[in-house]
Amino acid sequence: MKHSTLDQMVLTLTLFGEARGESFLGKKMIAHVIVNRAIKKGKPIAQMCLQAKQFSCWNGLQTIRSDDDDVNLTKLLYATGDEPGYAECVRAAEEVLTSAGILDPTFGSTHYHTLGVYPYWAKGHTPATTCGAHVFYNDIAF
């Protein structure tokens, strides 16, 4: 699957919003989930990431309701590239886009959540793996 410059930029920003505090492997694992989900949904990465309620860091972009805003949205919209962790997000996005589907440490996961939450969609499902503060699932239907 060919990815545009916009896909790579939005993937990088999504990683920055979702995983900037994770290890490099953690960032790559989040990137794999994003790419896996885009492929399963048959959508370009940018379109899928920016769709409402797909990744919480973008919450608030599609609405003017401030109660939907994620605290990371402002960080994404004003990122300059000099922030700590940003360069690793760029590198993780590049590596995953050039190797999508190859050596996926998430085992094809399309969903994840942080250890501190247990979303409704995870009930009854078994995690495929964990890394850092994230739990990954490869058995969630769309």
**What are the residues facing 130 on neighbouring strands?**
135
The residues spanned by each domain of the chain are: 5-106
Distances (CA, A) of 127 to 56, 86, 121, 136: 20, 28, 12, 6
Instruction: Give kind and range of the element (H or E) at residue 131.
Output: strand 129-131
* pLDDT of 105 over the 90 cut: yes
Residue 134 has φ and ψ, to the nearest 5°, of -120, 145
Q: pLDDT digits over 46-88, tens only?
A: 999 998 888 888 887 765 445 555 566 667 666 777 777 899 9
Instruction: Give kind and range of the element (H or E) at residue 134.
Output: strand 134-137
Separation CA 54–CA 111 (nearest Å)? 10
Separation CA 58–CA 69 (nearest Å)? 8
